[in-house]
Structure 1
Amino acid sequence: MTLRRQLTSVTTDVTSSPFWKDIETVLTPCRSADDSVDSGIGSSVKLSRPADADEAQSPLKKKSKSDDVITEAPSTDDIITAVERLESHDLIADGSRGYTLPTIPGKHSDLKSISADTMAGVLNGVYSDRLHKPTIVDCRYPYEFEGGHIRGAVNMYTRDAVNSLLETQTTAAKRHVLIFHCEFSSERGPRMYRHLRSQDRALNQDHYPKLNFPEVYLLHGGYKAFYESHGDLCDPDSYTPMLHLDHCADLRHFRVKSKTWTAGSEKVSSRRHRSRIFPSGLDF
């Protein structure tokens, strides 16, 4: 059955449809089972969890505390229109326009990837007539970041830090894009990209498919690939791997710190999460 027929068979409660799993697959960037972890560390740790488990810092949690009434989910017709538009055109995640930067096929097919050369072009002003200064989100640990990072990048290795992006407001006439990466853009960067999109969808559930940051990219190959071809655009011009022998203690410390959000996450069921913030799964 086509996606449109599946959608049109849904009445008021979209998530209760027997076809919801298929619909959600189309709309939601999701982590594949074989995603590897940067430098091979931590592959046995399950990192997926509901987007609202950061109880203290989540923008969604802060928003829900100020809302007396949870707004009704978008209509089926709205979802059909949004899905068809996103499926039939290569558009940014709110369906408003095409992507500014050229994208390439990447390991994470659900995420939009750019090459190291395109990243260098952004820094060198090639796209300045169309882009506001982008936010380059480096998801590596602080000792990696201090050992060399892309010029102008900000270090955000926890979900609380990434959540803070959604508390900022931009009034720039040009497009404000986010570019995520980690050492190889294999696990940490993609995980934070997906988390940001999930939180963004939830915050804008009353106005689907509106997003605070509809145009987000993943740097293909991560910092390692960028440094190898454009080291002159890094500050300092150096590269500290996650597994550097001089930082074993730092690695243990920051791995624990970055994953403290997993505590208690299993207590929040996916059904409860979906019923509270239905459109947060619509992360196309």
Structure 2
Amino acid sequence: MTLSFRFRLFADDSCSPVTTDVTSSPSWKEIETVLTPCRSADDSVDSGIGSSVKLSIKLPSRKRCLSRTFIARKSLFSGKRPADADEAQSPLKKKSKSDDVITEAPSTDDIITAVERLESHDLIADGSRGYTLPTIPGKHSDLKSISADTMAEVLNGVYSDRLHKVTIVDCRYPYEFEGGHIRGAVNMYTRDAVNSLLETQTTAGKRHVLIFHCEFSSERGPRMYRHLRSQDRALNQDHYPKLNFPEVYLLHGGYKAFYESHGDLCDPDSYTPMLHLDHCADLRHFRVKSKTWTAGSEKVSSRRHRSRIFPSGLDL
């Protein structure tokens, strides 16, 4: 068809578009039919054709073009921007992003049965068995506490035939930990550090026991104990009462009480109080970093109460 058009247009000077007006010629009408956008030509909108002939080449409308452009961009940039590598995330958030299979949650009857079993027997938090270590009444009735003597027996291997692994979680600030800690303890004074425990692999049937404490086991240790249990429950909400760490204890009296009776099991054999005069700057730094003083609006009333007891507003 192209050769035919050129032949009829430029075979002689009489058909040349330069020397004559070809808009009324049959050849021009044929070209116009092929090339002009699919609508009636209109001089008022500068169509360039000046004819009302319907065209055979249909060009997409502007609305349709924009729609295709949007779809193309969406396909290219549909992936979410990854979060910063150093952004701390709880195990619960990581689990919700990685889960591909939706499991059926336990029924209400199953939950009620599990709760009744836990309340009627002195069992660990998943109801699977009794506690390995002897417990004592403590300041925190919702937590299981052990004495300093029981802690010493654990370190001396008295329960090694019944416990697969024991992790002693020291929730004091680093300068306190470095100034003396229970042998083999790990220093975890932030929620993110405690969350990392839930990322470790636990072996079914193997007893991995956690023992929390701080200086007096009054505030920081119990708070981290409760935080771990809350995260553990949320992580296993579809399998209640299953837990990663069902057997957790609080060291009654904290490091101070343990050091006073079993200093030989501390490394080094010393005790650095949180309020030590040589560590005032460290206290300010780690108190802010750990966010123990501003760890949620629900703590406002308790902070005010403590501020009346401790004028400096220190969190023990």
Asked if TM exceeds 0.5, the reply is yes
Does the CA contact (< 8 Å) of 1:86 and 1:95 recur in 2? yes
Counterpart check, 1:31 vs 2:63 = no
Aligned to 1:140: 172
Q: Distance in 2 between matches of 1:196 and 1:268?
A: 21
Instruction: Name the SS of the counterpart of 1:14 in structure 2.
Output: coil
Cα distance change on mapping 1:113 and 1:22 into 2, 3 Å: farther
Does the CA contact (< 8 Å) of 2:163 and 2:208 recur in 1? yes
Q: Distance in 2 between matches of 1:234 and 1:283?
A: 23
Does the CA contact (< 8 Å) of 1:14 and 1:76 recur in 2? no
How far is 1:56 from its partner?
Answer: 3.0
Q: Say which one has the larger Rg.
A: 2
1:105-127 alpha-carbon deviations (Å, 9 max, x no partner): 00000000000000000000010
The higher-RCO structure (CA 8 Å, 6+ apart) is 1
Does the CA contact (< 8 Å) of 2:212 and 2:221 recur in 1? yes
Does the CA contact (< 8 Å) of 2:307 and 2:313 recur in 1? no
Does the CA contact (< 8 Å) of 2:293 and 2:315 recur in 1? no
Cα distance change on mapping 1:223 and 1:92 into 2, 3 Å: same
Does the CA contact (< 8 Å) of 1:139 and 1:188 recur in 2? yes
Cα distance change on mapping 1:259 and 1:282 into 2, 3 Å: closer
Number of aligned pairs? 277
Aligned-residue Cα RMSD (Å) equals 28.8
* Structure 2: tracts of 5 or more residues without a match: 1-15, 57-80
Instruction: Name the SS of the counterpart of 2:83 in structure 1.
Output: coil
Alignment of 1:119-158 (within 5 A): 119-158=151-190
Q: Distance in 1 between matches of 2:283 and 2:174?
A: 10
How far is 1:74 from its partner?
Answer: 2.5
Cα distance change on mapping 1:219 and 1:41 into 2, 3 Å: farther
How far is 1:55 from its partner?
Answer: 7.8
1:74-106 alpha-carbon deviations (Å, 9 max, x no partner): 311011110110011000000000000000000
Q: Distance in 2 between matches of 1:211 and 1:138?
A: 21
* Structure 1: tracts of 5 or more residues without a match: 1-7
How far is 1:171 from its partner?
Answer: 2.8
Q: Distance in 2 between matches of 1:72 and 1:43?
A: 69
Q: Distance in 2 between matches of 1:63 and 1:229?
A: 42
Cα distance change on mapping 1:116 and 1:282 into 2, 3 Å: closer
Cα distance change on mapping 1:176 and 1:14 into 2, 3 Å: farther
How far is 1:170 from its partner?
Answer: 2.8
Does the CA contact (< 8 Å) of 1:35 and 1:187 recur in 2? no
How far is 1:273 from its partner?
Answer: 27
How far is 1:243 from its partner?
Answer: 0.2
Greater Cα shift, 238-247 or 267-276: 267-276
Greater Cα shift, 143-152 or 261-270: 261-270
1:149-199 alpha-carbon deviations (Å, 9 max, x no partner): 000000000000000000001337541100000000000000000000000
Instruction: Name the SS of the counterpart of 2:311 in structure 1.
Output: helix
Cα distance change on mapping 1:118 and 1:45 into 2, 3 Å: farther
Alignment of 1:13-162 (within 5 A): 56-67=88-99, 71=103, 73-162=105-194
Greater Cα shift, 225-234 or 167-176: 167-176
How far is 1:254 from its partner?
Answer: 0.1
Does the CA contact (< 8 Å) of 2:43 and 2:49 recur in 1? no
Q: Distance in 1 between matches of 2:259 and 2:40?
A: 27
- Normalization by structure 2: what TM-score? 0.65
How far is 1:57 from its partner?
Answer: 2.0
How far is 1:64 from its partner?
Answer: 1.1
Q: Distance in 2 between matches of 1:110 and 1:274?
A: 21
Q: Distance in 2 between matches of 1:230 and 1:112?
A: 21
Instruction: Name the SS of the counterpart of 2:23 in structure 1.
Output: helix
Does the CA contact (< 8 Å) of 2:39 and 2:54 recur in 1? no
Greater Cα shift, 40-49 or 122-131: 40-49
Cα distance change on mapping 1:224 and 1:261 into 2, 3 Å: closer
Instruction: Give the % identical residues.
Output: 97
How far is 1:266 from its partner?
Answer: 8.3
Does the CA contact (< 8 Å) of 1:28 and 1:281 recur in 2? no
How far is 1:269 from its partner?
Answer: 18
